[in-house]
Amino acid sequence: MASKLLSPFSLHKLELANRIAMAPLTRGRSGADRVPNDLMATYYCQRASAGLIISEATTISAQANGWVDSPGIYTQEMIAGWKKVVDAVHEAGGKIFVQLWHTGRASHSDFHNGDLPVAPSAVALQGDGIHTPLGKKKHQTPRALKTSELSAIVADYVTAATNAQSAGFDGVEIHSANGYLLDSFLQSKTNLRQDQYGGDVANRYRLLNEVVSAVTKVFPADCVAVRLSPNGAFNDMGSPDYRAQFTHVMTELNKFGLAYLHVMDGLAFGFHDLGAPLTLADVKQVYHGPVMGNCGYTLASATAAVESGAAEMISFGRPFISNPDLVHRFETDAQLAPEAPMEDWYTPQGARGYTDFTALNSPD
Ligand SMILES: Cc1cc2nc3c(=O)[nH]c(=O)nc-3n(C[C@H](O)[C@H](O)[C@H](O)COP(=O)(O)O)c2cc1C
């Protein structure tokens, strides 16, 4: 008998083939116009046996951009490009959410005709630099957003969600992880604001709350998800009060009845090491809806997490890059292909390191 992980699962009204999700993976194949293309449709279609695909992070506006050749969802061309991707996944029997993204301080003025990236506060990301369309640059001190500017950003999320509906996506995942705009509002390390969007855990949660409230008026709440990285160090994150902050956020998110809460509970993508990691058991103490775990999971640890009820679903990132048929390999206990080298993760080099990983049962 197939394990719970590999058996069909009803995620609210969505009938999923299994409890495995493909984690959002930025791959930088959209070109400078940020329009999804046929190669991307092939890539996602190859991975459609995942119970749910979460698309690569996709920007909600021009202001949200901060990664070379990543896709957007704020023009008619982008909607049409995504529609081809979504149709291909649906034809292959899969389901797909789009991950909605604003890069915030992890951007650079090269993406914005010289204007500084925006953030809750003027706190620069300490890191080894950022790839911009004009080459590798040092991170800059971002411009703190005015209170009066925040409603326009919420409106951009609404437009992006409306566009996602036009493209046929099954739902949206709001990216509030990894140090991008929404995460940087949540965290005391990057949010030093004096207005109602800063100061205590409730105020720092205010922007995410407004975004989720607004997006759940476009899609039904059970088609809207949120991603959090309470333990993450990526993009120079990690705040001393992470437990209090994320416990508050998860408690508050209960009120929406979301599709799922995507929590990067594992430490395989960088741990801030400021105390004990927030585990799925911690999450389950406060959050009552479906939980998707992520980071460094294997077939064994994912099976155990789902069997024990620690999570309803598990997402896999890196394993899906080199194993388009990850689900089939799990089902047959087959060996996984070696991890793709990092230089192939994002580089805009077309099919190489992207769609050229073969499935075990493929005639190629
Ligand atoms: C190439 C690459 C691109 C990524 N892009 C995104 C992204 O667009 N959005 C996001 O939330 N996380 C992103 N992540 C993080 C993954 O979703 C995932 O959390 C991470 O790879 C850990 O899971 P894994 O151990 O199964 O790979 C990315 C990771 C990698 C390796």
**Atom 10 of ligand 1: nearest residue by CA position:** 24
Q: What is the mean pLDDT of each run of 10 residues along the chain (364 residues)?
A: 94 98 97 97 98 99 97 98 98 98 98 98 97 96 98 98 98 98 98 98 98 98 98 98 98 98 96 97 98 98 98 98 98 95 82 92 57
pLDDT at 362: 59
C-alpha 141 to ligand 1 mean position (Å): 25
Give the closest residue to 101 by CA, choosing from 184, 182, 22, 208: 182
C-alpha 347 to ligand 1 mean position (Å): 15
C-alpha span between 176 and 186 (Å, rounded):
9
74, 157, 180, 205: which is the annotated catalytic residue? 180
Give the closest residue to 300 by CA, choosing from 283, 314, 285: 314
pLDDT digits (tens, 9 = 90+) for 192-221: 999 999 999 999 999 999 999 999 999 999
Strands 9-11, 14-16: parallel, antiparallel or unpaired by DSSP? antiparallel
CA distances to 189, 228, 236, 272, 293 from 242, rounded to whole Å, are 10, 11, 14, 10, 18
**Atom 2 of ligand 1: nearest residue by CA position:** 25
Tokens coding 320: 């899906």
* CB of residue 280 inside a 6 A radius of ligand 1: no
Q: What are phi and psi of 41, to 5 degrees?
A: -60, -40
* CB of residue 183 inside a 6 A radius of ligand 1: no
pLDDT at 343: 85
* CB of residue 318 inside a 6 A radius of ligand 1: yes
pLDDT at 207: 99
pLDDT at 52: 99
Q: Is 354 among the catalytic positions?
A: no
Is 9-344 in CATH node 3.20.20.70? Answer: yes
